[in-house]
Amino acid sequence: MICATLKDAKAKLNKLVEYAAAGEDVVLMKGSRHVAAIVSISEADLELSARLSDTKAAALWQRIDEEIADGRTKEWKGHEESGA
């Protein structure tokens, strides 16, 4: 594990990122306290959820409206309905 103070991290950020990308644990410290970490991420970590096209989104909202109209889906009116 590599520990660096914030002052050191500012001066050596590129190198610390290289260490993290190589799999090293990099911990940032403020004084004697551990306050943050620099971690490696992969493309899979950044994978975004599928997005709906405008046409598919319109179809989804139409289906929801139909389900509310015929009682298959109940429209949530707010926190007071949850019973909490």
Asked whether residue 67 is domain-assigned, the answer is no
User: Is there a domain that residue 59 lies in?
Assistant: no
If one counts the domains in the chain, the total is 1
Phi, psi of 44 (to 5 degrees): -65, -35
Residue 26: φ, ψ to 5°: -120, 120
pLDDT of residue 60: 87
- CATH code of the domain containing 33: 3.40.1620.10
Please tell me the distance from the alpha carbon of residue 2 to that of residue 27, in angstroms, as a whole number: 6
pLDDT in tens, the chain (84 residues): 999 999 999 999 999 999 999 999 999 999 989 999 999 988 777 766 667 788 888 888 898 888 888 888 776 676 565 555
Q: Please check whether residue 27 lies inside any domain of the structure.
A: yes
Count the neighbouring beta carbons within 10 Å of the beta carbon of residue 40.
Answer: 14
Closest CA to 24 of 13, 14, 39, 44: 39
In a domain, 50, yes or no: no
What domain range is 24 assigned to?
2-40
Q: Say if 8 falls within a structural domain.
A: yes
How many beta carbons lie within 10 A of that of residue 9, not counting itself?
19
